[in-house]
Structures are given as structure tokens and as C-alpha cells.
Amino acid sequence: MATRRLKLWVGMSSFALVAPLDAAVAQTHQHGAAPAAAQAAPAAKPAPEARAKAPETKDSGSMPSDAGEGGEGGEGVDTDAFAFSKPDEQFVGRLLLSRGHLAVGLELYGAGDKETGAQHFAHPSVELYGWLEPELAKRNATPFKDGLDQLVAAALRKAPIEEIRKLYGAVTARIDAAEAKAGPLSEEAQVRVLGAALDQAAHEYGDGVKNGKVAALTEYQDARGFYVATKAWFEARRDKLQAKAPAQTASLTKDIAAIVAFVPSAKPAAKLNKPGDFQALASRIRFSAGEF
């Protein structure tokens, strides 16, 4: 599989990032365009072109380059689990992936891995915001790019965890407010979003884990973040899903809980479970939407 690498801003206008990046990310290189095979999602405003890449990581959770960046995937072809979703499901789903990137960043930062935490905090801006920006405007939702920039800047200067948590809370509150601007999603649509987000996590895990060991740490960590955010999103909606379809929600709860065995923390275990088993759970959840 083609080596994948994490993309970080090198041209943010809101603060000088190049020097901090030199300290946080060694041996950066200039990133080129996403592969032509990744041009499958709907066209949208692209994210900024200038970015640096850290060794042994990749561009994750994103859109193809003509839709605000590449996607998640393997064998050099990016995969975007929301590429063919309905518009509001795409919007909510990509906000959910943004939460996932931030969640694993906070977990890592809080555990003392500040540089890697900062890298994950940068993922939503680099990989998702180019697609989200016009969608936020379309829905008259408050932009949150400045909040992301402030969080990344604070992390790069290794701010105290209390400051990081405050900035994290502020930006996730804006993401929550943006999601509220989407049209109401039916129970079936909510489960489709859950399934697609976990499918994206499974793709990341499959890229990151080979033969029971980590082959690409950033992909594994992205899978962890997507799972954590998606599980929290589900738990906030479980009661209403339960009222609509009790037996199906019980099965959904069991399957989502089972996924934690693949990504129990941002720091992977020595021996990891098979990616195919993760994918099977994610696919079962995704295809269960019709039961709601």
C-alpha cells in the first residue's frame, strides 16, 4: 500500500505555524494533489493547498481534493464513507468525523503526547473544513475554523491541558451548534450516519493494522477517535432509537460496544484484532438502518 502521511497546515494566516511545525513534525515535505482515483465525492470548495507531512502518517477522514481533501482508504485510493450519503447526512457525518479527530487529539495530548495530539487537532482544518465551509454558510451556521486554529496553535506551544480543554470545549460547542442547523434526521438516517462513521473507522483501522500489529499509527488513532465520537453521538440518541425499535437498538448497542476491543485506547496494544472483524461489525451496523 502506498505510504500515507498526515497533512498539517504550513500556511495558516491566523498564526505563524511553520516554525512550530518544524519543532513538532520532523522532516516535513510538500504535499501534492490527491490521486485521480479519489475524485468521487461531490465537488465543493477545496481546502488550502499548502501543507506539511509527518513521517509514517497520512491524510485521513477527508474528502477528495476537489471536495475539500482526500479520504480514508487503502492501496493508495482514498475512501470517503459519506461520499454517496444524502446532503444532511454528509454534513452531520463530516462534523462527526471532525469530532473524532479532536477527541483522539485530546486523548493523546492529555496522556502527554502533545506533538501527536496537535497533529490530530489539525486534521479537521486540513481534511474536512474545505468541504464543510460552504455547507456551514449554506445553513447559516457559525464557522469554527478560527476555533480550530486557536486549538492547534495552543497545542503546538504545549499549552497547559486546562487551556487545551477550554479551547476544545469551545470548538466542539460550535460543531454541535452547526449540526443543529441540519435538517432533522429520521431514526433510519441517524443509523446510516452511525454506520458510515464506523465504516470510516474500519477503513482507517484496516489501513493502520497489518498482521496484528500497527503498520501506520495515525490511521489506528483516527479509527480510535472516530469510534469514540460515534459512540458518544449514538448514546445521546439511544433513547429515541430505543423507543422506535427496541430490539434493533439493543443489537446496535451490542455491536457498537464490541468495537472498543479493536481500539481500546489511542496507544495500541501489542497484539491487535483482525481488521476484517471490525469491518464486519461496521457493515452490519450500516445495513441495519433499514430496520429503523
Contacts of 27 by beta carbon, 8 Å cutoff, 6+ apart: 54, 55
**Whether residue 252 sits in one domain with residue 163:** no
How many helices and strands (H and E) does the chain possess? Answer: 11, 6
Total structural domains within the chain: 2
Q: What are residue 11's phi and psi, to 5 degrees?
A: -130, 25
Domain endpoint, select from 163, 184, 205: 184
Residue-number span of the structural domain to which 219 is assigned: 187-291
Q: Is residue 279 part of a domain?
A: yes
Same structural domain for residues 140 and 212? no
Q: How far apart are CA 229 and CA 149, in angstroms?
A: 20
Do β-strands 213-214 and 72-74 pair in parallel, antiparallel, or remain unpaired?
unpaired
Mean pLDDT of the chain: 80
Residues 138 and 269 placed together within one structural domain of the fold:
no
Residue 41 makes CB contacts below 8 A (sequence gap 6+) with 63, 64, 67, 71, 80, 82, 83, 131
Res 67: pLDDT: 35
pTM confidence score:
0.77
Percent of the chain, pLDDT > 90?
A: 72
Whether residue 59 lies inside any domain: the answer is no
Place of cell 456551514: 136
Q: Are residues 129 and 262 in the same domain?
A: no
- Whose CA is closest to 117, among 197, 234, 224, 210? 224
In angstroms, rounded to a whole number, what is the distance separating the alpha carbons of residues 96 and 179?
A: 9
Instruction: With a cut of 50, say whether residue 73 has pLDDT above it.
Output: no
**Domain for residue 145, yes or no?**
yes
pLDDT attached to residue 46: 35
Q: Would you say residue 55 lies in a domain?
A: no
Domain match, 263 and 119 both: no
**Residues 149 and 237 both lie in one domain:** no
- Among 152, 184, 216, the domain boundary falls at 184
**Same domain? 147 vs 16:** yes
Per the CB < 8 A criterion, the answer to whether 205 and 79 are in contact is no
The reply to whether 37 falls in a domain is no
Quote the cell numbers at residue 220. 489506528
Q: State how far the Cα of 66 lies from the Cα of 61, in Å rounded to an integer.
A: 15
- Same domain assignment for residues 17 and 116: yes
Whether 179 and 192 share a structural domain:
no
Secondary element (H or E) of residue 213:
strand 213-214
Q: Does residue 219 contact residue 78 with C-beta atoms inside 8 Å?
A: no
Residues 197 and 178 in one domain: no
pLDDT of residue 71: 44
What are the tens digits of pLDDT across the range 122-144?
999 999 999 999 999 999 999 99
Same-domain status, 180 and 200: no
Scan for cell 468541504, then name that residue. Answer: 131
pLDDT tens for 24-50 read 333 323 333 333 323 333 333 333 222
Domain boundary among 130, 163, 184: 184
Q: Do both 156 and 120 map to the same domain?
A: yes
Residue 43 lies in a domain: no
Q: The C-alpha cell of 69 is what?
A: 481533501
